[in-house]
Structures are given as structure tokens and as C-alpha cells.
Amino acid sequence: MDLDQPQTMPTSGGGGGGGDRLSALSDGVIGHILSFLPAKEAARAAVLSSRWRHTFAAVHTVSLVEPDPPVVDHYELARYSPGWGPPPDPNQPPPFTNVVSAALLARHRRAAVPPLRALHVSTVGYCRSDASLVDQWIAYAVNQADPAVGLDLDLRLHREPLSDKAYSLRRRRGASADHADQDTDDDNDDEDASRKRRRRWRSRSRSPVRYASIEDANLGLSPPYMYIPRSPSLSPPPPRLSCSPQGCDEDDDDDDDDDEDVISSDEKSTRGYDYTPAVHAVPSGLFSCAALRSLSLGHCLLAPPAAIALPSLETLLLARVSDAGSDVQRLISGCPRLADLTLEACATVTALTTVAGLRRLALRCCHALRTVAVDASPGPPRLQAFEYRGSVPDDTFLTIHGGASLTTVAYCKIDICGEEVTSSSELAKLSAFLRLFAGAKHLHLESARLGSGLDDAAAFATLPTFSALSHLELRGYLPNDDDDAIYAALTMILERAPNLETLSLVFHPEPLDGGDDAMLHITYYKEEELYDKHLLSYNRHSVLAAPTSGGGAMAPACLRRRVREINLVHYQGGAAQRTLAMYLLRSAAAIGELGCELAMGPLWIQDELARELEGWVMNKAAIVNIG
């Protein structure tokens, strides 16, 4: 090859000629491609060339998510005098509701408008003044839908954490003294040390409170209420917050109970608060849309009419709807083709009866729900996936009409949120609940402590054999002061999963801990402080002892012979986690792949942990992915 001669790059595909082949496609094909992008990204294609100027008019999916408001820089505000702040941004973006309306109108830049297949809108908050615009979005989606193609409508009008029940640990009495985090050895200080430790373990998943406007001010309560002052001179101060990078919580007094700061109903009327939630009433015409195939509504008032006609609806998600449980049940019963049902934080639903043919059921943080009846008529139940998040359910929580069993459920996820369950009676209920899903192929267990209390041999003595189980996933905290309970829990479940092939452990991240009360109540962090307070807890001088109980000298048979893949997610390198990883990797002789996602921290610590994990793998030919 003569390097002095100019070379030409080969064109993709057959035939000669170069040029922009993507622009040569028809508007329908380009619009279909852009429909897989968020609406803002798809609209930016108009600046590519004059050919792409009106390509957004050909998209059939509009997806918009309102960005979170910027976090206030307290260090920047401290430079100004009280009552003053930085000048307003001259390039302030328009209201998000106007952005959504503009995106829908942009589809009409050309005469031929394709039918709308999906409209996804997620907002940070909802104001009563937005009601007319939201009704226009829904009416537009219903009128522009094609019954032959179907419509996917996803409308979330407020963004907040799913549950206010954060994971919290109970300190075990039998924890090893070598790993216990005690402030003193004095017996009189044990209770205070335990309380401080539980507060440090409390998950802070809520987002920091941001004040976009006085009528949207979130006062840190759940659910979000509107603050309306009675007069311009009456403006109560915001609550004291103790914040960390994981979120903000109302400041707790060390010597007082949490309930002492709750505002009584008599005080509400004198402080100028209006505690009526701002929710949007869904127009009744939506419940007679024949083209609707997927419907997701969050923070809305359904108020379904007497006659509900949704013959094509297959997927339904309701999050924090404020209707009575009977209205929610009527809506579900009016969907004869419903195959996927999800309820999230529906506080008014106490009883639920599913429709025949349901294939997936997800119940998340519906804490008032007491009974769920799966309709199996005609024939056996078709339920293939089940998800549950909440407290430990009673024995009569889940029933099946006709006395059939849930042998068709292949995927089961059970998440016990809130405080760690240690009561034998509660653990016995959890064991009875797990027995319903003995035929699952993928079992997902999550709780405050890794293992979900499976180390209680008496409570789980009747746990059946999961002969079809091939993938087990456990999630929870594994603190450094944990004893050998995790090995007993793993032995309990692994001995009942003879065909297990994949084992995944997801460690809950520990909140950033300052080590004393002053740091616990710090309000904000500098950016460099976040990098300094990493989540790795590696100590190269720790002694990693083999388990003395539970695992014993011989690991379960499936771990030694069947397990092909082990995944460790958010591996922080504490003594308990390293000992558990050493036990698993040295026992899994047939392992073919190891995946590990390390927690945030310095590179040299991550390298040390990676080399340590690679050295523990029995099969040196196994694929190791650590990052």
C-alpha cells in the first residue's frame, strides 16, 4: 500500500457512493428511530440540518421527565447579607408544563401526523393551576391514539420516595466483641450506644427539600402537603433538617422521642397550614378509551365512572391514588384483559381481587392491604411473577380461588422494609409466605439485614425444597459487627435449593457516618468532603476467620457442585463482607463467572479488594469482572 496516496473509507452496505444515508430514510422511519429517545433529545435532532428540521413531527412517542430543581449552595448563600441572594437567572427555563404542551404541538408541524403510541410525563410536583393543562394532555393522547396500535399513557404528577419505612437494624446480642462498635464498655452506656448505632444505620433515601415556590414548598412530611399562609406576614419557618448525601430527615432530639415534634391537629389551624393534598382528578373519558393498552397514574384521583370500558388494557400501575379501595377494585374489575397489575403506596386499599388471566402482580408499600385473592377461574392460575414490599404479611394474606397453588410463579420478590424482623412469630409468618412460592425459579429476598432472618432454624423448620430455584438474590445490610448468622441463613436456603446456579448478594450501602453526634446532625457537605468520606471500609490487618456456625466445615452441596455464577453488588470490603466472600469463593469449586461491583472509594483500596477476590476464586479459569 502506498502511504503517500490518499485513501478512501469504505461505505457501509452494498453499492458505491457515500453521503448521509440516515437522512435518506423516510420521515416515518426517522420518526420511529427518534421515538426511542427522550423528547428533548429527539427535538435536538432538528439542528443537524434542514432535512431534520421537522423530523420531530414524525415521532409517535413523547417522553418527558422534569429535572430536579438545583440544590441550593449554602456556601454561596453565606456570602450574601440576610434577605439577599444571588441574582435571578436570566435564562430561566420555561415551566415544565409548557414544555410538555409545546412538545405535543410540535408533532403538528406537518400535515401528516402519525398516531400517538405513548405519552410519558413525570413531574416533580403538581399545582392545582396545572389541572387544565394536564386534562389537555390526556385528551390529546386519547384523541391521537390509534386503536389498532394501542396507547401507552404514563402520568406521574409527583416524585417522592416509595416508602417512609427505612431499613434499620437491631443490634444483635451475640455480636462479636472484636467487631462491635461501642462507645464504651460501661453497661450503663449500652442503650445509648445501641440507639446511636440504629440512627446511623437508618437509610436516608429521601431527597433534600427544595423550595421552588411558596405554594410548592414541601415541608418534609409524607405525603407532600401544600403550604398556604393565611396572610403575607404569617410564614412559619421550615423544619430543622439533618442532611447527608443520601437525603434529609427531620432533626431528632437525642433525649426526646420522635413523636414529640409532631404537630397536633389543634396547632395546625393556628400555624397557617393547609394539609389538603393537591391531587389531579382524572377526566372520566379516559376510562372509556378503547385504544388504551397501558396505563400508569401517580398522585391522581381516579373517581372512575359507573361504566368502565377498557377492553384493551393489559398493564395497569396505580401509585398513591387517593380513591377508596372499592373504586380501585372497580377499575381493576373493569379490565378483562389485564395481565400486569402494580399497586404502589395505595393507603386506602384494604382488600384486592385480581382478574382471571393476570400474569404479573406487584404490591409495593400498600401497608393497609390485608387480603389478596387471585382469581384462577377458569382453569389454574396464570400468575408468573409476584412482587411484594411491606411488613411481614399474615397467613391469610394471599389466597387463590378454587384452592389451587402458585406453582406457575417463576419469579418471586419479597422485600420486608422497615425495621429488622427478629420476632419468632413474625419469622414464622415469613416462612409460611415463602412456602407459597416453592416452585419459583428466581427468588429475590430483601430486608434490613442480609439473610432475612433465615438463620432462625425453629421459625423456618418447615421451609420446603425449592427444587426449581436456579437464581437466588439476597439484599440487605451486613455490618462489621455481624456474627455467623449470615452463614446459618445461607445454609438454610442453599440446602433447600439443590439446583441453584446463580447466587447474587447485594449489600445495602452504609450511610455516611461522622462518628459523633456533631457529625450526625451536619446540614450539608462540601464536594471535597464527599470524596473523602468514601464507603469502603477495608482494613488489610483484619483477621478473616472461618465461620464457627451455620456454614461449618462442609459447605452446602449446591454451592460446591452446582453454582456457576456469584455476583457481589456494592461490595464495601468490611470484615464481615470479606469473610463471607472468602467462604463463598473458596467453596464454589464449579464457579465459572464472578461479578463484583465495588463501592465508591480510593482506587488503591479497590485494587486491593480486587486482587483479594481473584485470589479466593477456586477455578482459575473462571471469568472475573470486578469494577
Residues 6 or more apart from 517 whose CB is under 8 A from it? 196, 254
pLDDT at 521: 42
On average, the pLDDT of the chain sits at 77
Q: Indicate the pLDDT class of residue 528, thresholds 50, 70 and 90.
A: low
Q: Is residue 547 included in any domain, yes or no?
A: yes
233 within a domain of the structure (yes/no): no
- For residue 492, pLDDT over 80 is answered with yes
Q: Which has more pLDDT, 245 or 161?
A: 161
pLDDT tens for residues 294-323? Answer: 999 999 999 999 999 999 999 999 999 988
Query: Tell me, what DSSP letter sits at residue 55?
Result: G
* % of residues, the chain, pLDDT over 70: 72
Residue 172 has pLDDT above 50, yes or no: yes
CB 161 within 8 A of CB 312: no
State pLDDT tens for residues 340-373: 999 999 999 999 999 888 999 999 999 999 999 9
Whether residue 213 is contained in a domain is answered as no
pLDDT of residue 200: 41
DSSP track, 186-226 = -GGGHHHHHHHHHHHHS---SPPP--SSGGG---S-SS---
| Cα distance between residue 320 and residue 297, in whole Å | 9
Q: 535-545: string of b/e by CB count within 10 Å (b at 16+)?
A: bbbbeeebeee
Write down the pLDDT at residue 1. 43
pLDDT > 90 fraction of the chain, expressed in percent and rounded: 43
> What was the pLDDT predicted at 224?
34
Rounded Cα distance between 30 and 268, Å, is 56
- Residue-level pLDDT at 333: 92
CA distance 446 to 415: 5
The mean pLDDT of 530-537, rounded to a whole number, is: 67
Per-residue confidence band for 511, with pLDDT thresholds at 50, 70 and 90: low
The pLDDT-based confidence of 375 (bands split at 50, 70, 90) is confident
Task: Return d(Cα 445, Cα 6) in angstroms, integer.
Answer: 62
Contact 454, 428 (CB under 8 A): no
Range of the domain at 563: 478-511+527-626
Whether the per-residue pLDDT at 252 is higher than 60: the answer is no
Q: Is 587 within a domain? A: yes
Count structural domains, the chain.
Answer: 1
Band of residue 32 on the pLDDT scale cut at 50, 70, 90: confident
pLDDT digits (tens, 9 = 90+) for 40-66: 888 888 777 777 877 888 889 999 999
Q: Is residue 346 part of a domain?
A: no
Q: Is residue 567 part of a domain?
A: yes
* 108-135: average pLDDT: 89
CA distance 469 to 131: 48
Element holding 383 (H helix, E strand): none
Residue 566 lies inside a defined structural domain of this protein: yes
Q: Is the pLDDT of residue 534 over 80?
A: no
The confidence score (pLDDT) of residue 133 equals: 93
Statement: residue 248 has pLDDT above 50? no
The verdict on residue 149 lying in a domain is no
Comparing 214-228, 252-266, 328-342, 430-444, the range with the smallest average pLDDT is 214-228
Q: 215-237: per-residue pLDDT in tens?
A: 333 333 333 333 333 333 333 44
Following CA atoms 118, 119, 124, 126 in sequence, which dihedral angle do they give, to the nearest 10 degrees? -140
